[in-house]
Amino acid sequence: MIELPKSVPIPVMQALAAASERYGVPLRLLLGVAWVESRFHPGSTGPVTRSGEQAQGLMQLMPGTARGLGVDAYNVDQAADGAARFLKQLQTQFGDWARVLAAYNWGPGNVSKRGEWAQWPGQVQQYVLNVWRAGQAAPIPFPGKVWQLPLSPRSSQASESNRS
């Protein structure tokens, strides 16, 4: 069973919420990808692949994908933006989110060739399930709303005084 997130670092939540709103990718899906890929650690690197490359950053973008998206995979805001944009492109191509997640993990070419769940390797099926579970478990303050921190300490104090 996958370990599920108990909290989300504020900069990660802000970046993912902004990217979710910008591209229309569900926030819980972005949270699930970020958790499964990096456990919310923006400096993480994946194992060396057969091509000799390593996935990088919060969303574990491959170097070529990050370059193609014009983002720095180790920058939280850019990684969230690039991954959300890429996921939206994949959704346009594949339609349903399970195929989108499989393409994110396994590559769009593989999903195009073997598009049915039963034809995917077990690791890809498990990835999709893990992202789904992690995304559903991630704590989101004020569910159903785009989560934002107050813009300044003054606005935080003002909102607290409105509660009394």
Instruction: Give the residue numbers marked as catalytic.
Output: 37
Report the distance separating Cα 27 and Cα 92, nearest Å. Answer: 17
Q: How many helices (H) does the chain have, and how many strands (E)? A: 8, 0
Burial of 153 (0-12, 13-18, 19+ CB in 10 A): exposed
DSSP assignment of 84-105, as one string? HHHHHHHHHHH-SHHHHHHHHH
What 8-state DSSP symbol labels residue 36?
Answer: H
Report the distance separating Cα 26 and Cα 30, nearest Å. Answer: 7
What 8-state DSSP symbol labels residue 4?
Answer: P
Pair 102, 120: CB distance under 8 Å: yes
